[in-house]
Amino acid sequence: MNSPTILDVAQEVGVSASTVSRALSGGKVKASTRRMVLEAAQRLGYKTADGDQGPSINRRGSIGLLTTDIQNFYTVDLFKSIIPEAQSAGYKVVVADINVALGRDQLIHDVRESTDGMVVAAARIEDDDIRRLFDPETTVLVSRQVEGFSSVVADDFSGMFQSVRHLASLGHNRVAYLGGDDHSRSDKRRRQSFEDATGRFDMESLILGPFEPSFEGGVNAADALMMEEDVTAVIVYNDLMASGVLNRLIERGVDVPGEVSLIGVDNSMLAQVSRPKMTSVAMRQNDAQMALRMLLSMLEQRGSDGYVFSPQTVGAPESLIVRDTTGPVPGRADQ
């Protein structure tokens, strides 16, 4: 008996051979079509030219974790929150930094083909590339939304609202936001949330940036801040930048929080070991863990009878962790 061909699979499903080829190779097809093709290929015993039976809808073994900034403390926290939980569920974790232009698409393809599903924490990849390179049924996005994909999105307004309210309660009125990468979706959401929150409390707001979201970027941001008058508090894009701001202000003789209060975002290890310890918005561990749990649930349901994929988006809560870099506005020592 001759081995089934790609034409046999196409006839079984009622689609073209090119559609079957795209579905089996991870190309752009509807999720429902991909599933029908995979089921038909398995049912018929179709094998590719190299003897592979093609992608399986019931594989177990590895989860892909894709990011665009592997050296950031946020990414370290992401590893800490995802890897142990994935391992306890019986999955290895394949980590890839896709912050490269050359070979990025091939890298994503290789990870996709060698894993059961992927958690994608890559804010700098475009929506069209997400749709082109990832399978909605086996992908969960972190801190971004793309139509047709499941995602976990941090509640940036909640964290920023708590931060601004905390500063308002301490008597601050002129507050600055030091922004990160101009192409970052997270930065755009935080910037907008900052403007909305300061407006609610009738505070004067100032936005500076963009700056490189790094320690060195924070040093440059602090120099820019020093040129502004009457700013008594600042909220910084992330903890790594905030640590640069904090160090530079102290170097220049600025008392933190006596003259300037400072808040970071991420509640990373940096916030806990800096001196003074940094007030920061806690969020990152929550959204990564929620994304992994959502992905594991999706993978478990794929093989069940009657399963129909339906993307969902959930919000990850944020909370302000108050430490030693925020205090009363200068001249208001009674707080």
The CATH number for 214's domain is 3.40.50.2300
In a domain, 324, yes or no: no
Residue 325 within a domain: no
Helix (H) or strand (E) holding 320: strand 319-321
Write the CB contacts of 96 (distance below 8 Å, at least 6 apart in sequence): 64, 65, 66, 67, 107, 108, 111
pLDDT of residue 101: 59
| 291 and 214 in a common domain | no
Identify whether residues 167 and 267 lie together within a single domain.
Answer: yes
Q: Are residues 20 and 69 in the same domain?
A: no
239 and 206 share one domain: yes
Which residues does 233 contact at the CB level (< 8 Å), separation at least 6? 167, 170, 172, 174, 175, 176, 260, 261, 262, 263, 326, 329
Q: Is the peptide bond before 317 cis (omega within 30 degrees of 0)?
A: no
Query: Does the residue 41 lie in any domain?
Result: yes
Counting the structural domains of the chain, the total is 3
Q: Answer yes or no: do 218 and 129 share one domain.
A: no
Confirm whether 138 is domain-assigned: yes
Residues 148 and 296 in one domain: yes
What is the structure's pLDDT at 19? Answer: 79
In a domain, 328, yes or no: no
Is the same domain home to 108 and 221?
no
Per-residue pLDDT of the chain (335 residues; tens, 9 = 90+): 567 777 788 888 898 877 777 777 655 667 678 778 888 888 888 765 445 555 554 455 899 999 887 767 777 777 888 888 888 888 899 999 887 656 888 899 899 888 999 999 887 788 999 999 999 999 999 988 999 999 998 888 999 999 999 999 999 999 999 999 888 888 999 999 999 999 999 999 999 999 999 999 999 999 999 999 999 999 999 999 999 999 999 999 999 999 999 999 989 889 999 999 999 999 755 688 889 999 988 887 775 667 788 999 998 888 999 999 999 998 765 54
Q: Phi and psi (nearest 5°) for 333?
A: -75, -5
| Residue-level pLDDT at 176 | 98
- Domain limit, last residue, from 16, 34, 57: 57
Does 196 lie in the same domain as 145?
no
Q: Is residue 268 one of the residues assigned to a domain?
A: yes
| Residue where one domain finishes, among candidates 57, 85, 102 | 57
In terms of domains, do 30 and 41 share one? yes
Same domain membership, residue 181 and residue 131: no
Q: How many CB atoms neighbour CB 171 within 10 A?
A: 17
Q: Is residue 331 part of a domain?
A: no
Q: Based on C-alpha coordinates, what's the Rg of the chain?
A: 24
- 301 plus 263 within the same structural domain: no
Helix (H) or strand (E) holding 103: none
Residue 96: alpha-carbon gap to chain centroid: 14
Residue 236 belongs to what domain range?
Answer: 156-283
Q: Are residues 251 and 302 in the same domain?
A: no
Check which CATH number belongs to the domain holding 39 and give it. Answer: 1.10.260.40
What's residue 58's pLDDT?
47
- The answer as to whether 304 is a domain residue is yes
Name 260's Cβ contacts closer than 8 Å, sequence gap at least 6: 225, 231, 232, 233, 234, 249, 254
d(CA 335, CA 131): 51
Rounded Cα–Cα distance for residues 296 and 316 (Å): 17
65: region left, alpha or beta (phi > 0 left; psi from -120 to 50 alpha): beta
Structure confidence at residue 335 (pLDDT): 45
Phi, psi of 328 (to 5 degrees): -60, 150
**Which strand ranges, in their side-by-side order, compose the sheet holding 150-154?**
92-97, 62-67, 117-121, 139-142, 150-154, 313-316
